[in-house]
Amino acid sequence: MKKVERETQDGVRKLGRRGLLLAGIQLGVVTTLALRLRSMQLEHAEEYRMLADGNSIKIRLLPPARGLIHDRNGLVIAGNEQNYRVTLTREEAGGEVEPVLRRLSRLIPISEARMAELLEEFSRRSAITPIVIADRLTWEQFGSIAVNAPALAGVTPESGLSRAYPRGGDLAHVMGYVGPVSDYDLSKIEDPDPVLMLPEFQLGKIGVEAKLEEVLRGRAGARRVEVNSAGREMRELGRQEGEQGATVQLTIDARLQNYAAQRMGSESAAAVVMDVQTGDLVTICSSPSFDPNKFVRGISGPDYRALMNHDHRPLADKTVQGVYPPGSTFKMVTLLAGLESGLINANSRFFCPGSTEVGGRRFHCWRRGGHGTMNAIQSLEQSCDVYYYELSQRIGIDRIGAMARRLGIGVRHELPMSAVAEGIAPDRDWKRQRYDQAWQIGDSLNASIGQGYVLASPLQLAVMTARIASGRAVAPRLVRAIDGVPQPIPEAAELGLDRTNLNLARAGMEAVMNGGQGTARRSRIEREEWRMAGKTGTSQVRNITAAERARGVVSNEQLPWNRRDHALFVCYAPYEAPRYAVSVVVEHGGGGSTAAAPIARDILLFALAGGLPPLDAVPSDQRAALEERHNAMQLYTPEPPKPGRTRA
């Protein structure tokens, strides 16, 4: 008991000592706080009061430089250029902007109309909002304003970066363009980056620029500045640089893209070049195009209306948004569906008398007189329609639809482009869902030759061709690398089609180009190592009435442009070891063999040769015309590679 008693006594004493020690420490801390308070509030109060009253420290965002876009060879296809502009703030101008504007107009041209527009804008906007008076000034103009700044109250010469597309219209549909941030844009973003609120900030509107906006935008920096009560900056207190957006490298070859654009000329057309092995879209070109730089600067009303009203629809991206009845280019799908079903083989023959009658309706072959007896290869070579009418009746639409989807038609391919169309690979279910109608046998006949309900985009046709050429489910890809990090090439699975069947379809396509009766024989490549395979297609955009037929079918040339047939062509080369698949659609171009095939062949040759198609690769009678055509082109010739890097 005594010991316990002593221990308690000890405990209490010790607690007392420690308690007092603790009290001392706590008092020390409290004293420190009190001294700090005294120092801030009594000794330095004046300084803080000044900072507070001058209202003082502001954060100014530094917009990040947008990431560059390169083509597959590292050529810049979307860059940033220094842009000198001048802004005016009404409050800093002393409330009266007109005299300042008049003085400014002696240094830079401001038209009377523009002056009125500006005055109207100043009266509308708040006094502290800086308004851009002039954009894209020359260095001389910019300098003269900077020198005269003291006499121009409220005028701020600014320099910033703005987007520039050095390739103009060549890549307009792929890359899209940037534009000012609209309220609508902001409403779509859940948690908008504050940098989007900057008056001059631009963000991607369509195409790659829009789809890869997050990657390209970068991270805003900030400056902490001290401003006086008038809002003028006194000094910079801190600065944190932003981070430029990532450099995106596309799979596009800018030179080939340029050649494709030039080759299509003023036609309303689309061309897609796809790497058969990797799925890289080397070219994806829609014609005619528009200058995306105009959109960056803010396109004028008349210019915009001209684009909108143009009957060739320059603003539409025909490569991925446009869908067309694929016509005879679809015949490989029907043929493969038939071969895979086991119901026909290479030697199965159908007789073509020029037409066939099904369910009281007559379906014509394109050759009125008929082709006679046809086997699989011949049916492709001569593009016999009746062969496919017969075939489709035996295998049914569901097999055809499934094969189309397997080859990439009627499925959406994931690409960072705007409005990628899905196309239509019809079957019974589809028609029931879409129209609530039963599938008719006539629908099958139409679908078997790529007419009727079937719709495919040029991109899908290129994918189809690449898949037939490689036998694998190649998927298109547009982004090659981000910030130097190569993007993975998705492993393309085997299509699971029988080798013999695929080889038969390929042989048929080869015969189209090189066979004695080949429909695209004129567009063949004469170099053995680049021997090509292809398929023509001509798709009707209107129904030929019986009356017309009775009068004799009118030739395309006699019809108004927008009622002529679409010309299509798909091809790949080299036949033995395929590298590139190409699809070309010429809207209302007439026949696939005459309008689309030569274009596709020349583009394919450019891809294979890595430069202008060598003239000896085309049939001798076309060489002069091709040379003349090349001479008329304004081709893009990028700076030759630096001497140090090439070997002599």
| Residues of this chain that bind other proteins (CB under 8 A) | 4-5, 7-8, 10-12, 14-16, 18-23, 26-27, 29-30, 32-34, 36-38, 40-42, 44-45, 47-49, 51-53, 55-57, 59, 222-224, 237-240
Reduced to 3 states (helix: H, G, I; strand: E, B; else coil), residue 86 is: strand
Q: Which two tokens stand for residue 339?
A: 């071969």
Distance of closest approach, residue 241 Cβ to other proteins, in angstroms = 11
**The tokens 């897609």 sit on which residue?**
272
If the CB atoms of residues 6 and 362 are measured against other proteins, the closer one turns out to be: 6
Least CB distance to other proteins at residue 581 (A) = 45
Residue placing its CB nearer to other proteins in the complex, 224 or 405: 224
Is the four-CA dihedral 617, 622, 623, 625 of positive or negative sign?
negative
Please identify, using beta-carbon distances, which residue of 57 and 147 lies nearer to other proteins. 57
Instruction: Kindly state the smallest distance separating residue 92's Cβ from other proteins, in Å.
Output: 21
In the complex with other proteins, which residue's Cβ is closer, 58 or 542? Answer: 58
In angstroms, rounded to a whole number, what is the distance separating the alpha carbons of residues 437 and 633?
51
- Of 79 and 221, which CB lies nearer to other proteins in the complex structure? 221
> Of the two residues 238 and 353, which places its CB atom closer to other proteins in the complex?
238
Q: Is 520 exposed, middle or buried (0-12, 13-18, 19+ CB in 10 A)?
A: buried
Q: Which is nearer to other proteins, 31 or 540 (CB)?
A: 31
Q: Within 127-169, where are the H helices? A: 139-147
The least distance separating other proteins from the CB of residue 10, rounded to whole angstroms, comes to: 6
Shortest Å distance, C-beta 9 to other proteins: 10
Token representation of residue 462: 């290129």
Nearer to other proteins by Cβ, of 220 and 600: the residue is 220
Q: ω into residue 314 within 30 of 0, thus cis?
A: no
CB closer to other proteins, 48 vs 435: 48
Nearer of residues 117 and 241 to other proteins, judged by Cβ: 241
Cis status of the peptide bond prior to 166, with omega within 30 of 0: no
Minimum gap (Å) between residue 528 Cβ and other proteins:
58
Contact 578, 470 (CB under 8 A): yes
Cα separation, 504 vs 336, whole angstroms? 9
| Identity of the residue, 14 or 310, whose beta carbon is nearer to other proteins in the bound complex | 14
* DSSP string across 280-303: BEEEEEEES---HHHHHH---HHH
The end-to-end CA distance of the chain, in Å, is 105
- Strand 269-275 versus strand 580-586 pairing type: antiparallel
The CB-of-20 to other proteins minimum distance in angstroms stands at 8
CA dihedral sign of residues 427, 433, 439, 442:
negative
From residue 209, alpha-carbon distances to 66, 206, 412, 568 in Å are 10, 6, 20, 29
Least Å distance between CB 483 and other proteins?
Answer: 17
Closer by beta carbon to other proteins, 24 or else 641: 24
Q: What's the half-sphere exposure (Cβ side, CA atoms, 13 Å) at 562? A: 4
CB closer to other proteins out of 244 and 444? 244
CB of 193 to other proteins, least distance (A): 12
**Which residues on adjacent β-strands are paired with residue 583?**
272, 570
Residue 9 or 300 with smaller CB distance to other proteins: 9
Residue 127 Cβ, how far from other proteins at the closest point, in Å? 19
Strands (E), 288-423: 350-352, 355-358, 361-364, 372-374
Q: For the stretch 39-76, what's the b/e string if a residue is b when 16 or more beta carbons lie within 10 angstroms of its beta carbon?
A: eeeeeeeeeeeeeeeeebeeeebbbbbbbbbbbbeebb
Q: Can you list the alpha helix ranges (DSSP code H) found in 416-456?
A: 428-435, 441-448
- Across 493-542, the runs of DSSP E, i.e. the strands, are 533-539
Phi then psi for residue 14, to 5 deg, are -65, -45
Least separation, in Å, of the C-beta of 61 and other proteins? Answer: 9
CB of 138 to other proteins, least distance (A): 34
Q: For the chain, what is the total number of helices (H) and then of strands (E)?
A: 23, 21
DSSP 168: G
Residue among 246, 251, 207, 209 at smallest CA distance from 475: 251
In the complex, minimum distance from the CB of residue 64 to other proteins, in angstroms, rounded to a whole number: 13
The position carrying tokens 């050529």 is: 75
Strands 269-275 and 281-287, bridge-based pairing: antiparallel
Tell the smallest beta-carbon distance from residue 4 to other proteins (Å).
5
**Closest by Cα among 379, 450, 389, 424 to 592:** 450
